[in-house]
């Protein structure tokens, strides 16, 4: 097909990424593309030429990848670690390209780029065909909503421009892309180092009669740009220009807005009319999707930064349980039951993955049962939140249907999710309101309830101290209850082992049990190794910080090994017990415990008196 001149496509900058496996030539392809478009200033080419390794085959010994790989470590290792964003322009269109790393360990960076791109170029090394990483990147592009794909089958010069090779790879890729639901796919035989079929057809084999990659980039119409028509306005800031007025500032993620329109506060359903509207600081009558707006409302509503404003129809779906596709980025696996922080279109919320329905095997495209999601793995999950959030399906609401998963201790971004649909389950279950008022329980028992959480190594003395404290409290008229790790494991938690995932679930069940006893007005003593800080945080957030006393029973490991009351250390050191805390599994000491007991310095009786006094002052003070 001869290249037909086409009019300038409507004009917004095209954002695209290049992805694929390691050494398929992504950076080289982009470097060459920029170079052949005449978009690289001479001093930059000169600098890249000086850095290029000896034997580079580009003009004057230039390695085109060095026009992009900007980090020292990248140049030293000859790989791409993080995404490089480059802008360039042709007479037809302006572009921003995101050059992505191919290594699986940097999948998080590829996903970062894909989330904000319109279309993708997937590179395939003609000598290798489709690799797992090709499938991973294609799958991620699809999950993140990219609909239009160019497949650059590269290094064709090294396969003597074999049409048969090209056809086989095209066929393999179409069987993958059919499943992934791309709307348009075009394939190009390329040789990036030589520049064939990037900007010019020079050197292209006779059997290939279509256009170049650049033709495609200039002409492609972006399918993903279609947005939902539903009004979504994320409130980022509330401004008070003067005493009387209150302006809500945010971007219109989707839909349109006019002065006089009725909007509703997402989480409460409160209604109000838009009385004035500014777009990018300028008074306006109407705003379109993507516009930065500031609005005033007719009513005083409970609305602050992080909240979302919606239209009345269709009614926005707020739910505290939903299903989502999840990509995991962190080296520590995603474990169902563990508490994470989520941020989506309606702000921050805590929650956990209640169920991992399957993990996707990229090689076979099968959906396998799994207990955790490891680094760079993809799965379908159910999530449960501490409060409802806006559940816009990502497929129809690409600007509001995504969320990130953050670690509540380290604050690292661990994963990202795309909402599929809310789960009605949560809507049909209404917690039964207590008939007996908590204050009535306080009056009956003569004290407030409290959860005392003793954490420490096995053999540190948790149970010993807990028993002494309980006896002493009981003697002073306190209604108590005891949840001991070993006792729970022989009953409520007897199906659980000692893997990280099972430990998380063990803590969750204990915390839930403690919560029920706490709600009954009791002072609950929990004695568990509970080695992970984030899990203790989860227990604390479940009970509520004010009624949670974390007690660190601090006994050095050597002392515990010497004591070894149950003979467990002996077995663990002999390798008979895997994942034993302190030996085969880590113990994370509390950073700021409510009480820090050093058992080497004092007797259990003296330490329990400290706890008892602290508890009494807290529940009766």
Which residue from 251, 426, 520, 618 is in contact with another protein, where contact means CB under 8 A? 251
- Judged by CB under 8 A, the residue of 58, 250, 266, 593 near another protein is 250
One residue of 411, 545, 600, 617 binding another protein per CB under 8 A: 411
Q: Smallest gap, in angstroms, from Cβ of residue 286 to another protein?
A: 15
**Bridge partners (DSSP) listed for residue 334:** 373
Q: Which residues pair with 322 in a beta bridge?
A: 383, 422
CB of 115 to another protein, least distance (A): 4
Query: What is the strand order of the sheet 480-484 is part of?
Result: 480-484, 523-527, 450-455, 548-554, 595-598
**Position 371 contacts another protein (CB under 8 A):** no
Quote the least distance from Cβ 243 to another protein, whole Å: 12
What whole-number distance in Å separates Cα of residue 454 and Cα of residue 444?
27
Show the binding pattern over residues 74-113: x = contacts another protein (CB under 8 A), - = does not.
-x-----xxxxxxx-x----x-x-----------xx-xx-
222 is written with which tokens?
Answer: 């972006």
Contact between 224 and another protein per CB under 8 A: no
What 3-state class would DSSP assign to 149?
strand
Binding to another protein by residue 240, rule CB under 8 A?
Answer: yes
Q: Does 584 contact another protein by CB under 8 A?
A: no
Smallest gap from Cβ 307 to another protein, in A, equals: 11
Compute the least distance from the CB of residue 240 to another protein, in Å. 7
Contacts of 416 (CB under 8 A, 6+ apart): 111, 115, 326, 327, 329, 402, 403, 404, 405
Residue 263 as a binder of another protein (CB under 8 A): the answer is: no
Nearest to another protein of 71, 209 (CB atom): 71
Angle at 326 between CA 323 and CA 330, to 5 degrees: 145
Whole-number Å distance between alpha carbons of 216 and 210: 10
Binding range to another protein, per CB under 8 A, among 149-157, 261-269, 341-349, 559-567: 341-349
Stretch of 5-13, 130-138, 375-383, 520-528 lying at the interface with another protein (CB under 8 A):
5-13
Residues 35-64 that bind another protein (CB under 8 A): 41-44, 47, 50-51
Distances (CA, A) of 376 to 110, 240, 370: 11, 44, 14
Could you say whether residue 11 binds another protein (CB under 8 A)?
Answer: yes
Contact call for residue 13 and another protein (CB under 8 A): yes
Minimum CB–partner distance for residue 211 and another protein (Å): 24
Strand pairing report for 119-125 and 94-99: unpaired
- Answer yes or no: are the C-beta atoms of 328 and 415 closer than 8 Å: yes
- Which long-range contacts link 166-171 to residues 24+ away (Cβ below 8 Å)? 166/126, 166/208, 168/129, 169/124, 169/126, 169/129, 169/130
Distance set, CA 596 to CA 140, 290, 462, 513, 534 (Å): 47, 52, 12, 24, 18
CB of 143 or CB of 529, closer to another protein:
143
Task: Tell me which stretch binds another protein (CB under 8 A): 71-79, 428-436, 447-455, 554-562.
Answer: 71-79
- For another protein, give the closer residue by CB, 241 or 477: 241
Binding positions for another protein, 271-290, rule CB under 8 A: 278, 280-282, 290
Among residues 30, 52, 62, 69, which is the contact residue for another protein, using CB under 8 A?
69
| 331 forms part of the interface with another protein (CB under 8 A) | no
Distance CA 463, CA 599 (A): 13
Token pair of 291, please? Answer: 């516009």
Site map for another protein, 349-368, x if CB under 8 A? --------------------
Out of 416, 419, 482, 524, the only residue in the binding site for another protein (CB under 8 A) is 416
Q: Residue 190: what are its φ and ψ, rounded to 5°? A: -130, 160
- 530 is annotated as an active-site residue: yes
CB of 158 to another protein, least distance (A): 28
DSSP 336-347: TT-EEEEEETTE
d(CA 147, CA 177): 10
Are residues 389 and 344 in contact, defined by beta-carbon separation less than 8 angstroms?
Answer: yes
At 559 the three-state DSSP class reads helix
What token pair was written down for 518? 């706490």
Distances (CA, A) of 600 to 454, 460, 468, 549, 565: 17, 10, 17, 22, 16
Euclidean distance between CA atoms 121 and 162, whole angstroms: 21
CB of 350: closest distance to another protein in angstroms? 12
Q: Select 50 or 357, whichever has its Cβ closest to another protein.
A: 50
- Active-site pick, 177, 204, 352, 530: 530
The count of chain residues that interact with another protein, using the rule CB under 8 A, is 68
Q: Does 384 bind another protein (CB under 8 A)?
A: no
Rounded to whole angstroms, how far apart are CA atoms 228 and 395?
Answer: 10
d(CA 324, CA 381): 5
Which of the residues 475 through 534 are near another protein (CB under 8 A)? none
Please, what is the minimum distance in Å from the beta carbon of residue 42 to another protein? 5
Asked if residue 399 binds another protein (CB under 8 A), the reply is yes
Rule CB under 8 A: is residue 249 a binding residue for another protein? yes
Question: Token digits for 535?
Answer: 């899990």
The interface with another protein within residues 293-322 (CB under 8 A) comprises: 294, 305-306
Cα 16 from chain centroid (whole Å): 22
Q: What phi, psi does 508 have (nearest 5°)?
A: -60, -45
Among 57, 202, 229, 236, binds another protein (CB under 8 A): 236
Residue closer to another protein (CB basis): 85 or 498: 85
Nearer to another protein, 229 or 304 (CB): 304
12 near another protein (CB under 8 A): yes
Q: What is the DSSP string of 32-62?
A: HHHHHTT-S-HHHHHHHHHHSPTT--SGGG-
Q: Under rule CB under 8 A, which residues in 109-168 are in contact with another protein? A: 109, 111-112, 115-116, 144
Q: Exactly one of 3, 73, 286, 436 binds another protein (CB under 8 A); which one?
A: 73
**Nearest C-alpha neighbor of 143 from the set 413, 377, 405, 451:** 377
In the complex, which residues of this chain contact another protein (CB under 8 A)?
Answer: 10-13, 41-44, 47, 50-51, 68-73, 75, 81-87, 89, 94, 96, 108-109, 111-112, 115-116, 144, 236-237, 239-241, 247, 249-251, 278, 280-282, 290-292, 294, 305-306, 329, 341, 343-345, 399, 402-404, 406, 411-413, 416
Active site residues: 530
């Amino acid at each position: 097909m001869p290249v037909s001149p086409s009019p300038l496509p409507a004009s917004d900058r095209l954002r695209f990424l290049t992805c694929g496996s390691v050494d398929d030539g992504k950076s080289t392809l982009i470097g060459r593309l920029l170079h052949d478009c005449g978009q690289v200033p001479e001093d930059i080419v000169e600098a890249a030429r000086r850095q290029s390794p000896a034997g580079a085959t580009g003009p004057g010994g230039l390695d085109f990848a060095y026009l992009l790989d900007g980090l020292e470590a990248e140049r030293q290792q000859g790989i791409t670690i993080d995404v490089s964003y480059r802008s360039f322009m042709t007479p037809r269109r302006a572009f921003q390209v995101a050059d992505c790393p191919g290594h699986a360990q940097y999948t998080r960076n590829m996903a970062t780029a894909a989330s904000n791109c319109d279309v993708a170029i997937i590179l395939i090394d003609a000598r290798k065909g489709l690799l797992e990483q090709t499938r991973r990147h294609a799958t991620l592009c699809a999950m993140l909503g990219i609909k239009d794909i160019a497949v650059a089958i590269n290094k064709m010069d090294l396969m003597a421009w074999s049409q048969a090779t090209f056809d086989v790879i095209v066929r393999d890729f179409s069987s993958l892309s059919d499943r992934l639901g791309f709307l348009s796919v075009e394939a190009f035989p390329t040789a990036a180092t030589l520049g064939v079929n990037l900007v010019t057809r020079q050197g292209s084999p006779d059997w290939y009669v279509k256009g170049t990659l650049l033709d495609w980039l200039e002409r492609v119409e972006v399918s993903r740009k279609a947005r939902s028509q539903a009004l979504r306005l994320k409130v980022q800031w509330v401004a008070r220009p003067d005493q009387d007025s209150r302006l809500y500032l945010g971007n219109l993620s989707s839909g349109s807005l006019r002065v006089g329109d009725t909007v509703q506060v997402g989480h409460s359903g409160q209604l109000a009319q838009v009385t004035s509207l500014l777009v990018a600081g300028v008074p306006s009558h109407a705003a379109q999707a993507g516009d930065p707006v500031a609005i005033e409302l007719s009513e005083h509503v409970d609305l602050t930064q992080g909240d979302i404003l919606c239209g009345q129809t269709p009614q926005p779906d707020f739910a505290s349980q939903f299903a989502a596709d999840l990509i995991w980025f962190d080296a520590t696996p995603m474990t169902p039951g563990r508490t994470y922080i989520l941020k989506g279109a309606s702000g921050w919320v805590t929650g956990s993955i209640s169920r991992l329905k399957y993990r996707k095997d990229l090689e076979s495209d099968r959906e396998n049962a799994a207990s955790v999601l490891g680094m760079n793995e993809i799965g379908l999950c159910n999530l449960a939140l501490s409060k409802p959030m806006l559940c816009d399906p990502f497929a129809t609401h690409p600007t509001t249907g995504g969320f990130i998963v953050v670690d509540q201790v380290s604050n690292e971004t661990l994963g990202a999710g795309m909402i599929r649909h809310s789960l009605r389950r949560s809507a049909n279950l209404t917690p039964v309101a207590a008939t007996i008022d908590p204050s009535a329980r306080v009056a009956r028992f003569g004290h407030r309830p409290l959860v005392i959480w003793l954490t420490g190594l096995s053999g540190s003395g948790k149970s010993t101290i807990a028993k002494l404290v309980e006896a002493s409290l009981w003697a002073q008229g306190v209604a108590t209850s005891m949840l001991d790790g070993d006792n729970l494991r022989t009953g409520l938690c007897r199906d659980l082992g000692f893997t990280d995932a099972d430990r998380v679930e063990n803590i969750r069940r204990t915390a839930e049990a403690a919560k029920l006893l706490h709600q009954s007005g009791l002072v609950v003593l929990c004695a568990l190794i509970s080695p992970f800080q984030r899990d203790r945080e989860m227990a604390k957030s479940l009970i509520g910080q004010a009624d949670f006393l974390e007690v660190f029973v601090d006994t050095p490991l050597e002392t515990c090994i010497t004591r070894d009351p149950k003979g467990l250390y002996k077995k663990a050191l002999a390798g008979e017990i895997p994942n034993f805390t302190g030996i085969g599994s880590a113990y994370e000491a509390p950073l700021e415990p409510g009480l820090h007991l050093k058992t080497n310095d004092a007797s259990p009786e003296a330490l329990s008196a400290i706890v008892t006094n602290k508890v009494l002052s807290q529940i009766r003070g």
